[in-house]
């Protein structure tokens, strides 16, 4: 496959100011007639080159006259043009019902819909399918009126009519020039939940959430989240919506979470549909976050788009930062930060430490769909957050205002964004830019010395950025570190919080008048996305977990204490449980703390995260060590868990930060009760399972029962399956719970579930629920005999024939072989080699598998 390089960027030879699309919709054969007004861009004398994929050219006309001097170069249509401005028409036929890749125009449960980012538009019609060609679109759709009563596209509806052959048509106009990846259409039998929003300048916007009629009762939460997002973006960034309508459509088959098409977002139904009986608190939060994310793209992505795909984090990193800030404002900002860091550590840190590591602004790719990664999204968001921290709120807002003013209507670069940050603040971010070009998670070591007599404390900081593929040597980065010292004896803060910008390999900070032994609180709020290695003792960590005034630092101290304990137990079998038990008891006994925070703080780090701390992952030893600590916590604090379980029971279901916090803590307590081995737990969990008036509690009870050996286990799995038969989003949970099982038989159960009549690789949510979840079940996936590796490779090879993009997304667990013992590494490599050798493999899967072998 061909490698595309960032340095090879050239401006387009032709622009397309106007695009007219005429669709004659039919699932088996849709005719697409495209009329492009093209103008030569600069001095380039070359022909017009239009990207295509999979369709056959039926006709080409230039300025109204049929021509036959066009040629195909691979799938690129080359049309020679004499002058500098022409009208070029093409006609093609495509088959949405045979589109299993779910890119371009496809059918999902009888609905015709599109997904064009990154390069799906070329599967619909011939076009310069690159983000820096902005065009004004007008779209006409004609379709069977009974099967496709609703016809939607970008922008505003302008006309519609009925024909006497049973078909009808609609025309939509989008006044804002946009790249082809933001094109969308939807045709289907859809019901709508309507709302309205009046913008700060008084524009009335008609909102619509379109779903199957039976799903309509589950759309209020999404609609509410949309209104909150619109108001938030006005208040926090001064960004107003710019069309008269904003539509969202939910479909069941979708490669990603959702898509920000201008004025017509298309969503995976799992990020729209919710009611208490079928969606957990986690689902509710994720829906609000994704609705906000896609809405925020209207400014960060659509009004200002990306010049080329290497700049993807320009829109994704910034938009994730924006949706994280939005969610933080809806409830506990501290808990939101904890969740985001947990996510970063679970997905981005391993990526940055493995064979697929790449900078936030990559240098090269074979398949751009492989670069919609945690690095581009979540590390990208951390970069924006660091700049916001360095600039402070006033300058950061001035900088984003400048960015919106200056780049509105253009296709911009990450460099353009950083320059706005510099210009508005007067700061020099030259060295900060390394965050865009250097991959790898920096490691920061911090050691604090105190000379009791002189009252002086010395903090030595040293950073190191590990080598990553193609980048053996790294320069020191700019790390914004929030830190503070506390007195070990009095518990009082000894300093104010300080923001230190570390930009050398090492640096020493001196604090005077430190009259008692200081304890270091560092990287408060997770101000820099780094790994901190400090020499803080268990006692100091326990102290911080109880005393630090920064809630994130408090959580972090507890996590570090737990991690140190688990690492020691894994390596040498050492039992240091008591320190953790005491610290957890302390946290549980603090009545001032938010319930949701307590629930997060007392959870043990995942097995995978423990593995990330070790030179070589021993999945079995880690599992045993973690289970032993869970048992110890469960047993030693049994009465507290039982008390919390009872005290946090609630009457009727409410969705509010307080109610969520109580549910969360109560379910964490249930988990620890189960770990304690207390005999009453099976019955307790079963009662909760049966009596629950919401999915959060029902699924938590199911997880508890499904992970253990309880007599109630088979009945719970069976009852859950029967109760929700036909609701595919809930059946996904049923598969996922079993794929994440901590039981000894998890791998065998997963292999069997892949033969369950409800399992299909054709639906990405279902594939992710079983195959994706299994890949992150460290112990089961890495079973010593390689059964997990073989299963994943088998599934990927099958899925690749249907949907390469989703297959490639599920591959990374196989690429972690360097982290394991030689026998496991050999088994993983053998599966990767089997994948690479497969004839007809997609370039998506080839790129990920071959890089994973290197
Ligand atoms: N921009 C889309 C991602 C499309 C993924 C294509 N491989 C969703 C989002 O980030 O909002
Ligand atoms: Zn996005």
Residue 500 to residue 163: CA distance in whole angstroms: 69
Residue 316 CA: nearest ligand 1 atom is 10
pLDDT > 90? residue 167: yes
Residue 301 CA: nearest ligand 1 atom is 1
Pocket test for ligand 1, best of 262, 272, 287, 372 (most atoms within 8 A of CB): 372
Contact 110, 147 (CB under 8 A): yes
Q: Is the CB of 372 inside a 6 Å radius of any atom of ligand 1?
A: yes
- pLDDT tens digits for range 110-158: 999 999 999 999 999 999 999 999 999 999 999 999 999 999 999 999 9
Tell me if residue 460 falls in helix, strand or coil: strand
- pLDDT tens digits for range 515-544: 999 999 999 999 999 999 999 999 999 999
User: Quick one: DSSP state of residue 783?
Assistant: -
Percent of the chain with pLDDT over 90: 99
Distance from the alpha carbon of residue 576 to the mean position of ligand 2, in angstroms: 43
Closest protein CA for atom 3 of ligand 1: 259
DSSP 441-454: --EEEEEEEEETTT
Q: Return the number of other C-beta atoms located less than 10 Å from residue 285's C-beta.
A: 19
Q: Is the CB of 259 inside a 6 Å radius of any atom of ligand 1?
A: yes
pLDDT > 90? residue 348: yes
Provide the pLDDT for residue 454: 84
Closest protein CA for atom 1 of ligand 1: 259
pLDDT average, residue stretch 58-71 = 97
Instruction: List Cβ neighbours of 646 (8 Å cut-off, separation of 6 or more).
Output: none
Distance of CA 821 to the CA centre of its chain: 30
Looking up tokens 């032993």 gives: 628
Q: Is the CB of 260 inside a 6 Å radius of any atom of ligand 1?
A: yes
Long-range contacts (CB closer than 8 Å, 24 or more residues apart) made by 270-273: 270/729, 270/732, 270/765, 271/222, 272/209, 272/211, 272/218, 272/219, 272/222, 272/248, 273/211, 273/215, 273/218, 273/219, 273/222, 273/729
Residue 320 to residue 335: CA distance in whole angstroms: 17
Among all ligands shown, which has an atom nearest to the Cα of 182?
1
pLDDT average, residue stretch 472-501 = 97
pLDDT > 90? residue 675: yes
pLDDT average, residue stretch 710-724 = 98
Residues of the chain with CATH 1.10.390.10: 308-437
Q: Is the CB of 294 inside a 6 Å radius of any atom of ligand 1?
A: yes
Enclosing H/E stretch for 204 = strand 204-211
Distance from the alpha carbon of residue 372 to the mean position of ligand 1, in angstroms: 7
Provide the pLDDT for residue 336: 98
The two three-digit tokens of residue 721, written as one number: 């399956």
Query: 3-state SS of the chain: helix, strand, coil percent to 5?
Result: 45, 20, 30
Residue 192 to residue 246: CA distance in whole angstroms: 12
Looking up tokens 């401005």 gives: 85
Residue 134 to residue 309: CA distance in whole angstroms: 15
Residue 458 to residue 510: CA distance in whole angstroms: 5
Provide the pLDDT for residue 155: 98
- pLDDT tens digits for range 430-479: 999 999 999 999 999 999 999 988 899 999 999 999 999 999 999 999 99
Closest protein CA for atom 8 of ligand 1: 259
pLDDT > 90? residue 555: yes
Distance from the alpha carbon of residue 300 to the mean position of ligand 2, in angstroms: 9
Residue 820 to residue 484: CA distance in whole angstroms: 38
The two three-digit tokens of residue 465, written as one number: 């950025």
Contact 89, 117 (CB under 8 A): no
- How many contiguous H segments (helices) and E segments (strands) does the chain have? 29, 31
pLDDT average, residue stretch 502-511 = 98
pTM above 0.90, yes or no: yes
In the set 294, 382, 607, 712, the catalytic residue is 294
**Domain 449-528, what fold?**
Immunoglobulin-like (2.60.40)
Residue 551 to residue 125: CA distance in whole angstroms: 52
Looking up tokens 């001097």 gives: 69
- pLDDT tens digits for range 279-307: 999 999 999 999 999 999 999 999 999 99
Distance from the alpha carbon of residue 60 to the mean position of ligand 2, in angstroms: 35
pLDDT average, residue stretch 778-801 = 98
Provide the pLDDT for residue 743: 97
In sequence order, the β-bridge partners of residue 412 are 306
Q: Sorting pLDDT into bands at 50, 70 and 90, what band is 50?
A: very high
Provide the pLDDT for residue 23: 99
Q: Return the number of other C-beta atoms located less than 10 Å from residue 843's C-beta.
A: 15
Label residues 708-741 b or e (16+ Cβ within 10 Å = b). Answer: bebebbeebbebbeeebeebbbbbbbbbbbbbbb
Q: Which regions of 289-365 does DSSP assign to beta strands (E)?
A: 305-306, 364-365
Q: Return the number of other C-beta atoms located less than 10 Å from residue 516's C-beta.
A: 17
Q: How far from 695 is each of 300, 536, 738, CA to CA, in Å?
A: 34, 41, 17
- pLDDT tens digits for range 763-778: 999 999 999 999 999 9
| CATH homologous superfamily of 1-144 | tricorn interacting facor f3 domain (2.60.40.1730)
Provide the pLDDT for residue 43: 87
Closest protein CA for atom 9 of ligand 1: 259
**Domain 308-437, what fold?**
Neutral Protease; domain 2 (1.10.390)
User: What sign results for the dihedral spanned by CA atoms 396, 399, 401, 404?
Assistant: negative
Residue 668 to residue 682: CA distance in whole angstroms: 15
Among all ligands shown, which has an atom nearest to the Cα of 294?
1
pLDDT average, residue stretch 239-264 = 98
Q: Sorting pLDDT into bands at 50, 70 and 90, what band is 198?
A: very high
Residue 332 to residue 660: CA distance in whole angstroms: 11
Q: Sorting pLDDT into bands at 50, 70 and 90, what band is 192?
A: very high
Residue 609 to residue 348: CA distance in whole angstroms: 12
Contact 694, 659 (CB under 8 A): no
Enclosing H/E stretch for 523 = none
Mean pLDDT in the chain?
98
Sheet holding 150-153, edge to edge: 104-108, 111-115, 185-188, 150-153
Residues of the chain with CATH 2.60.40.1840: 449-528
Bond preceding residue 441 cis, omega within 30 of 0:
no
Enclosing H/E stretch for 349 = helix 349-352
Contact 125, 92 (CB under 8 A): yes
Distance from the alpha carbon of residue 793 to the mean position of ligand 1, in angstroms: 25
Contact 248, 209 (CB under 8 A): yes
Provide the pLDDT for residue 453: 86
The two three-digit tokens of residue 213, written as one number: 């009629």
Pocket test for ligand 1, best of 229, 251, 259 (most atoms within 8 A of CB): 259
Q: Is the CB of 117 inside a 6 Å radius of any atom of ligand 1?
A: yes
Distance from the alpha carbon of residue 836 to the mean position of ligand 1, in angstroms: 26
- Pick one of 1.10.150.130, 1.20.120.550, 3.90.550.10, 1.25.50.10 as the CATH number of 724-854: 1.25.50.10
Q: Catalytic annotation on 339?
A: no
Residues of the chain with CATH 2.60.40.1730: 1-144
The two three-digit tokens of residue 63, written as one number: 């300025």
Q: Return the number of other C-beta atoms located less than 10 Å from residue 667's C-beta.
A: 22
The two three-digit tokens of residue 598, written as one number: 């307590």
The two three-digit tokens of residue 510, written as one number: 């001196």
Q: Is the CB of 293 inside a 6 Å radius of any atom of ligand 1?
A: yes
Looking up tokens 């017509």 gives: 264
Provide the pLDDT for residue 719: 98
Q: Is the CB of 436 inside a 6 Å radius of any atom of ligand 1?
A: no
Closest protein CA for atom 7 of ligand 1: 369
Distance from the alpha carbon of residue 267 to the mean position of ligand 2, in angstroms: 12
Contact 152, 249 (CB under 8 A): yes
pLDDT average, residue stretch 831-839 = 98
Instruction: List Cβ neighbours of 352 (8 Å cut-off, separation of 6 or more).
Output: 375, 379, 439, 440, 441, 468
pLDDT average, residue stretch 704-730 = 97
């Amino acid at each position: 496959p061909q490698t595309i390089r960032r340095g090879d960027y050239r401006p387009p030879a032709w622009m397309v100011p106007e695009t007219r699309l005429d669709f004659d919709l039919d699932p088996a054969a849709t005719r697409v007639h495209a009329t492009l007004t093209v103008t030569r861009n600069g001095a380039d004398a070359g022909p017009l080159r239009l990207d295509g994929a999979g369709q056959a050219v039926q006709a080409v006309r230039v300025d109204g006259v049929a021509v036959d001097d066009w040629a195909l170069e691979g799938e690129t249509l080359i049309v020679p043009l004499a002058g500098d401005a022409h009208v070029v028409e093409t006609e093609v036929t495509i088959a949405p019902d045979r589109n299993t890749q779910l890119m371009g125009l496809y059918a999902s449960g009888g609905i015709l819909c599109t997904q064009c980012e990154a390069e799906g538009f070329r599967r619909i019609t011939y076009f310069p399918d690159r983000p820096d060609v902005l065009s004004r679109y007008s779209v006409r759709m004609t379709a069977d009126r009974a099967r496709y009563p609703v016809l939607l596209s970008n922008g505003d509806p302008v006309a519609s009519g009925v024909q006497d052959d049973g078909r009808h048509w609609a025309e939509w106009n989008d006044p804002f020039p946009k790249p082809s990846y933001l094109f969308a259409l939807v045709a289907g039998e859809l019901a709508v939940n309507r709302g309205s929003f009046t913008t700060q300048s008084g524009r009335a916007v008609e909102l619509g959430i379109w779903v199957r009629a039976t799903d309509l009762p589950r759309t209020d939460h999404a609609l509410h989240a949309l209104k909150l997002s619109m108001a938030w973006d006005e208040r926090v960034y001064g960004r107003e919506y710019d069309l008269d309508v904003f539509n969202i459509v939910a479909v069941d088959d979708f490669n990603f979470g959702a898509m920000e098409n201008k004025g017509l977002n298309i969503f995976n139904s799992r990020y729209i549909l919710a009611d208490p009986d079928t969606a957990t608190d986690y689902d509710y939060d994720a829906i609000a976050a994704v609705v906000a994310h896609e809405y925020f793209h209207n400014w960060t992505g659509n009004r200002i788009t990306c010049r080329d795909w290497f700049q993807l984090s320009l829109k994704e990193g910034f938009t994730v930062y924006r949706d994280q800030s939005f969610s933080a404002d809806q409830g506990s900002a501290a808990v939101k930060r904890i969740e985001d860091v947990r996510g970063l550590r679970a997905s981005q840190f391993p990526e940055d430490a493995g064979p697929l590591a790449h900078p936030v602004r990559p240098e090269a790719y074979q398949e751009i769909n492989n670069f919609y990664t945690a690095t581009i999204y979540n590390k990208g968001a951390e970069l924006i957050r660091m700049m916001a921290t360095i600039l402070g709120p006033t300058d950061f807002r001035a900088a984003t205002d400048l960015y919106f003013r200056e780049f509105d209507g253009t296709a911009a670069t990450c460099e353009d964004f950083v320059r706005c940050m510099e210009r508005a603040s007067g700061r020099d971010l030259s060295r900060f830019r390394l965050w865009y070009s250097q991959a790898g998670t920096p490691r920061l070591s911090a050691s604090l010395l105190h000379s009791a007599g002189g009252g002086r404390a010395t903090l030595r900081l040293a950073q190191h950025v590990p080598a990553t593929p193609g980048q053996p040597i790294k320069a020191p980065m700019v790390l914004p570190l929030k830190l503070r010292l506390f007195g070990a004896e009095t518990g009082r803060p000894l300093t104010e919080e300080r923001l230190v910008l570390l930009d050398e390999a090492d640096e020493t900070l001196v604090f005077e008048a430190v009259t008692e032994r200081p304890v270091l609180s560092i990287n408060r709020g997770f101000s820099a996305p780094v790994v901190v290695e400090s020499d803080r003792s268990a006692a100091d960590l326990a102290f911080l977990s109880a005393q630090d005034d920064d809630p994130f630092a408090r959580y972090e101290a507890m996590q570090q204490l737990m991690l140190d304990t688990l690492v020691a137990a894994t390596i040498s079998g050492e039992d240091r449980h008591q320190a953790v038990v005491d610290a957890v008891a302390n946290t549980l006994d603090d009545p001032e703390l938010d319930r949701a925070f307590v629930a997060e703080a007392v959870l043990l780090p995942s097995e995978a995260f423990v593995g990330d701390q070790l030179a070589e992952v021993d999945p079995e030893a880690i599992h045993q060590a973690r289970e032993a600590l869970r048992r110890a916590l469960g047993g030693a604090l049994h009465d507290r868990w039982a008390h919390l379980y009872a005290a946090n029971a609630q009457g009727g279901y409410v969705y509010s930060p307080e109610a969520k916090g109580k549910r969360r803590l109560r379910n964490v307590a249930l988990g620890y009760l189960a770990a304690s081995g207390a005999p009453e737990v099976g019955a307790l969990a079963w009662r909760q399972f049966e009596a629950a008036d919401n999915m959060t509690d029902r699924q938590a009870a199911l997880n508890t029962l499904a992970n253990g050996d309880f007599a109630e286990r088979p009945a719970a799995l069976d009852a859950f399956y029967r109760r929700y038969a036909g609701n595919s989003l809930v059946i996904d949970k049923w598969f996922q719970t079993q794929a994440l099982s901590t039981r000894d038989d998890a791998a065998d159960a997963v292999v069997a579930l892949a033969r369950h009549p409800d399992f299909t690789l054709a639906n990405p949510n279902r594939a992710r629920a079983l195959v994706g979840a299994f890949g992150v079940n460290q112990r089961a996936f890495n079973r010593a005999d390689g059964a997990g590796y073989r299963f994943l490779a088998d599934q990927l090879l099958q899925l690749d024939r249907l949907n390469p993009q989703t297959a490639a997304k599920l591959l990374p667990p196989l690429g972690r072989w360097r982290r394991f013992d030689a026998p496991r590494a050999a088994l993983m490599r053998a599966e990767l080699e089997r994948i690479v050798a497969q004839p007809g493999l997609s370039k998506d899967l080839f790129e990920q598998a071959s890089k994973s072998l290197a």
